[in-house]
């Protein structure tokens, strides 16, 4: 008789201490750019081919939602996607709610697009996404004339679109590229010009890609504008490697005892490279090679070698350009000489998990001295991590950040609840293992 146990469905990572990172690594396609390419291609007239698409759970959520809205999309086996766009008036009412899974980008950007449609649609998601703040898109979209029902400012959101929307002049209260992008998409369906001002610059992929699709995105004295009625035309899109995914290996190589990695074809848009500036300020040896424009986005090969890091102050103005990389940067801080402080990062509390809490708890479990504040934390570099068990809280970036801690650990690290790594970096464990991290991925972890 064979013994059987119930499936837990949980995936954990087990990391043996040590390891070295060497070689050339391809990095999966950029998540932010892949979402935007799908949405803008759906709204463009003609057939758009997207190369280098990130085929991850988050991007699939956007893809499936657009298919449910009547767009024909084919996913090739070679990281290519073909979108048969019908222009801005071809979407049709969905027969069922649109499931955004774990993806805040899907929910917020699609809410903006749906606000300008002549039908109603419901956006929902998993437990984590249903806890995240949506009033930041709901309120301005309501000002544009859409009627949106939410559950106390959270998903599910039912968007009753209006055509045309009213134009908006709006200073965003939070620095959020998702909110900015949602409002730019809604602005395509407004009668007149929509103007937005950010409290701090955030990733500008939507603005760049709108121009690639023949739309006009205006920039005047710190305001970003879009004219309603812009017609978008299909155009080939090449998605660069995701710097946010590369960031785990940049930190891993910087903290490892022996490391020399080249990360290939990574997007180095200046609105994303905060992580590079911060790591360099800590003393990391990072170099760009062959920087060039691919379509509307700059890309480069990034070379990184092991180096001794020192603590720094990460100020509020550093936060928006490194928002998704701050968890792994705190792992670097734990390996640095001296103290690192992070301030102005309260937004981390409303990501896929409360990332300040997830990181502080995990770092403490691994023997690192941490003090937390509402908007940040202080990490005292200890040079090494004790082994132990940490909880990724179902958050992809927390799981991958702690995986890198194995490179400087003195005993094994067990990371629980890592399945959502597939939302942004499918095959992460395989890629990391090939580079030299002693990582095992355990399915149905007990
Ligand atoms: C994203 C913007 C950021 C980021 C997220 C992706 C985007 O979110 O954290 O992973 O694609 O626009 P916020 O806009 O909420 O800061």
What does the DSSP 8-state code read for residue 220? E
Residue 53 has what pLDDT?
98
Q: What are the tokens at 67?
A: 């298919």
Residue 5 has what pLDDT?
61
- Ligand 1 binding pocket mutation candidate from 37, 40, 105 (most atoms within 8 A of CB): 105
395 lines ligand 1 (CB under 6 A): no
CB 306 within 8 A of CB 256: yes
The stretches in the chain having pLDDT less than 70 are 1-6
Tell me the catalytic residues. 324
177 lines ligand 1 (CB under 6 A): yes
- Contacts of 221-224 with CB under 8 Å at 24 or more apart are 222/197, 223/195, 223/196, 223/197, 224/180, 224/184, 224/195, 224/196, 224/197, 224/198
User: Which has the closest alpha carbon to 444: 12, 102, 127?
Assistant: 12
CATH 3.40.50.720 fits 10-27+240-445, yes or no: no
Distance (Å, whole) CA 317 – CA 315: 5
176 lines ligand 1 (CB under 6 A): yes
324 lines ligand 1 (CB under 6 A): yes
Indicate which residue's Cα is closest to atom 13 of ligand 1: 176
Distance (Å, whole) CA 44 – CA 236: 12
User: Which has the closest alpha carbon to 327: 356, 292, 367?
Assistant: 356
**Distance between Cα 1 and ligand 1 center (Å):** 51
Residue 356 has what pLDDT?
98
User: Which has the closest alpha carbon to 259: 301, 311, 307?
Assistant: 307
Report the atom number in ligand 1 closest to the C-alpha of 244.
10
Same CATH topology for 10-27+240-445 and 31-238: the answer is yes
The residues spanned by each domain of the chain are 10-27+240-445, 31-238
Residue 432 has what pLDDT?
98
Question: Per DSSP, what are the bridge partners of residue 318?
Answer: none
Residue 9 has what pLDDT?
87
Report the topology of domain 31-238. UDP-n-acetylglucosamine1-carboxyvinyl-transferase; Chain (3.65.10)
Residue 4 has what pLDDT?
55
């Amino acid at each position: 008789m064979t013994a059987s146990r119930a499936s837990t469905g949980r995936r954990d990572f087990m990391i043996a201490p040590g390891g070295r990172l060497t070689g050339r690594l391809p990095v999966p396609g950029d998540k932010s750019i892949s979402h935007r390419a799908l949405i803008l291609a759906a709204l463009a007239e003609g057939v758009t081919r997207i190369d280098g698409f990130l085929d991850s759970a988050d991007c699939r959520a956007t893809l499936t939602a657009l298919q449910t809205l009547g767009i024909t999309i084919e996913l090739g086996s070679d990281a290519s996607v073909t979108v048969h766009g019908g222009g801005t008036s071809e979407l049709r009412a969905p027969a069922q709610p649109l499931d955004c899974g774990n993806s805040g980008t899907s929910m917020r950007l699609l809410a903006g697009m749906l606000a300008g449609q002549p039908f109603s649609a419901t956006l929902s998601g998993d437990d984590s996404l249903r806890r995240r703040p949506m009033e930041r898109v709901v309120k301005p979209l309501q000002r544009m004339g859409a009627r949106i029902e939410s559950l106390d400012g959270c998903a599910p959101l039912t968007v009753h679109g209006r055509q045309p929307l009213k134009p908006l002049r709006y200073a965003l209260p939070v620095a959020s590229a998702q909110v900015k992008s949602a409002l730019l998409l809604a602005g395509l369906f407004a009668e007149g010009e929509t103007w937005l001002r950010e409290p701090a610059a955030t990733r500008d992929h939507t603005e760049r890609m709108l121009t690639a699709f023949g739309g006009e995105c205006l920039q005047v004295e710190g305001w970003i504008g879009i004219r309603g009625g812009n017609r978008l035309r299909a155009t080939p899109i090449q998605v660069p490697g995701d710097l946010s995914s590369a960031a785990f290996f940049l930190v891993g190589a910087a903290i490892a005892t022996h490391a020399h990695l080249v990360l290939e074809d990574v997007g180095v848009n200046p609105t994303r490279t905060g992580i590079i500036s911060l790591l360099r300020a800590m003393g990391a040896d990072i170099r760009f090679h062959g920087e060039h424009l691919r379509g509307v986005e700059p890309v480069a090969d990034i070379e990184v070698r092991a180096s001794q890091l020192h603590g720094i102050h990460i100020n509020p103005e550093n936060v928006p350009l490194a928002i998704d990389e701050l968890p792994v940067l705190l792992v670097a801080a734990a390996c640095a000489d001296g103290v690192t402080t992070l301030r102005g990062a309260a937004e981390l509390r409303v990501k896929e998990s409360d990332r300040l809490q997830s990181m502080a708890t995990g770092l403490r479990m691994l023997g690192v001295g941490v003090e937390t504040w509402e908007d940040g934390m202080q990490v005292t570099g200890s040079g090494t991590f004790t082994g132990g068990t940490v909880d990724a809280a179902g958050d992809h970036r927390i799981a991958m950040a702690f995986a890198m801690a194995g490179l400087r650990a003195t005993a094994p690290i067990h990371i629980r609840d890592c399945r959502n790594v597939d939302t942004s970096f499918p095959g992460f464990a395989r890629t990391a293992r090939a580079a030299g991290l002693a990582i095992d991925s355990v399915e149905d972890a007990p």
